[in-house]
Amino acid sequence: MAFLAIHRTSNFMNMIGTRELASRGFMVLGMNPRSDNNEAIVSFEDIALDIKQGVEFLRRQPGISRVVLIGFSGGGPSITFYQATAEKGPSYCQGPSKLTQCSNALAGLPPADGLLRQYFPRGTDLSRFSQTYLNAIALRLNQRPRKTLGFETPADRLRLCCADRLNSPPETGHESIVS
């Protein structure tokens, strides 16, 4: 079994998970996407083509019969987009109702044998969990420093950008007249 780890904008070649799995005898490919450290040029189609190359490379290695994709944070959407497109074909991301359009270049993607996601496996019924538990996970994710944010957290950035709006009463569009 081999693992492929990727994030949409971060270097996963030295991610702790790649080192730990390798130290335990697993073959691990940590990948850099074409959009390494540049959120502005993220293309899920390009990331899917990068993952395809990684999956095909790992499958050519002696003794490798299964490839599992690892994604958390920005890697989660990357690997789930890849796997859904590999399983369903390009029609998964084509048509007027699709936010991200893709070309037929994604036809024939080899599906991975599994996905590892942080917190919830694919298809998990979130209604089984309390809102308090889901909020705790959201808080944990929003308090994790991100390389793409200069090692600030999403919560820090929200406070910096919107502090004036977070601490003031909502605007109603009507001025109060006090006499």
Domain coordinates of the chain in residue numbers?
Answer: 2-124, 126-179
Specify the CATH number of the domain 2-124: 3.40.50
pLDDT of 51-81, one tens digit each? 999 999 999 999 998 998 888 777 888 888 8
Q: What is the mean pLDDT of residues 138-161?
A: 71
Dihedral angle sign, alpha carbons of residues 139, 144, 147, 149: positive
Q: What is the pLDDT of residue 147?
A: 63
